């Protein structure tokens, strides 16, 4: 798949993923969980259901690295959540989560601002690094 910078949800599909740059030269990973339907049942052109995966690395994610990772945050997001971070859709995985391919608006799912997934990815990477530092050489917690 050739990477692309989406301007709308027209070409988005559940399973598309993008890298989320983190300040310290690390990356998180966002994924399209589902497409967002409006009240009339038509696809929203700018919003979708986004997920943040339990993954971070020194380079942008590859499909083989993120498959079956836990979805640690779910938000309705604007397409700019991808594009304003300098991100682009870089690959596609077969969805393993339990969300349907299309969802209508729901009150139990928050809507994220443009930078929220970036902030959550940074927080997750910081917590992961702290947790890793608390383990000894054999992988056991101190």
**Domain presence at residue 45:** yes
Asked if residue 8 has pLDDT above 70, the reply is yes
Q: How many domains does the chain have?
A: 1
Residue 7 lies in a domain: no
Residue 10 is assigned to a structural domain of this protein: no
**Residue 97 domain flag:** yes
pLDDT at residue 134 in the model: 54
Per-residue pLDDT tens digits for 32-48: 999 999 889 999 999 99
Q: Where are the beta strands (DSSP E) in 79-118?
A: 89-92, 102-104
Structure tokens that stand for 83 in this block: 């594009």
Task: For residue 77, give its domain range.
Answer: 16-133
Classify residue 28: in a domain, yes or no.
yes
Instruction: List Cβ<8 Å contacts ≥24 apart for 123-127.
Output: 124/28, 124/52, 124/54, 124/56, 124/72, 125/22, 125/24, 125/26, 125/28, 125/56
> Taking residues 85-112, what's their average pLDDT?
90
Q: Is residue 140 part of a domain?
A: no
Percent of the chain's residues with pLDDT above 70: 92
CB distance 124 to 22 below 8 Å: no
Is 108 domain-assigned? yes
Report the pLDDT value the prediction gives residue 142, as an integer from 0 to 100: 37
pLDDT in tens, 46-92: 999 999 999 999 999 999 999 999 999 999 999 999 998 778 999 99
Which residues share a beta bridge with 28?
20, 56
Query: 139 lies in a domain?
Result: no
């Amino acid at each position: 798949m050739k990477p692309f910078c989406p301007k709308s949800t027209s070409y988005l599909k559940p399973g598309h993923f993008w890298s989320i740059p983190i300040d310290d030269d690390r990356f998180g990973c966002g994924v399209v969980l589902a497409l967002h339907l409006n009240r009339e049942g038509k696809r929203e052109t700018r919003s979708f259901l986004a997920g943040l995966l339990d993954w971070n690395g020194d380079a942008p994610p590859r499909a083989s690295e993120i498959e079956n990772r836990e979805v640690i945050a779910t938000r309705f997001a604007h397409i700019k959540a991808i594009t304003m971070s300098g991100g682009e859709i870089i690959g596609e995985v077969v969805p393993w989560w339990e969300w349907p391919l299309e969802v209508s608006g729901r009150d139990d799912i928050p809507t994220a601002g443009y930078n929220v997934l970036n902030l959550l990815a940074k927080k997750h990477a910081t917590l992961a690094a702290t947790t890793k530092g608390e383990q000894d050489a054999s992988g056991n917690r101190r």
